[in-house]
Amino acid sequence: MTREDFLARFGSVFENRPDLAEAVWALGPDCGSATALHASFVAVLHGLRGAALTDFLNGHPDLAGRLLEQGAVTEDSAKEQGSAGLDSLDAAARARFLALNEAYRARFGIPFIMAVRDRGAAEILAGFEARLGNTPGQERAEAVRQIGRILLLRLQDRFAA
């Protein structure tokens, strides 16, 4: 696979960060399977530290937030949030998500990040509420773990296509 082919296929796997896919390419990744390639994507993710990690995390949209409502999220994010029903919440559920997004950002300085595919709104809300009790360090680690899961699911989608 050429660099151009790699970036065309996998350049959008990281939320709004094609430069990180470039960093994966620079590792000379094993592109034989989603699982093998995932290891390289996770290595780049784990290489982000301090402000670089914070900037990356802040590039993720709020769940059921205004960007989703405006259609201003990535195709992957829209599909994932839609699969969890977050694009069709009633007014009360949407208000709950908006309030939790604000509380979470106020506490941790980053958006709440969860691999929402195959989850329902109630499960996501429960996760939100439970994770608000974490320390900032625990929550950054959990956000990175969730992104690892999101990366794997997105890679699996690309291999299936």
Query: Diameter of the chain by CA atoms?
Result: 49
* Gap between the Cα atoms of 41 and 64, Å rounded: 26
If one counts every other C-beta atom within 10 angstroms of the C-beta of residue 160, the result is 7
Return the active site residues. 60
> What is the DSSP track for 11-64?
TTSSTT-HHHHHHHHHT----SSHHHHHHHHHHHHHT--HHHHHHHHHTSPPTT
Amino acid type, 152: L
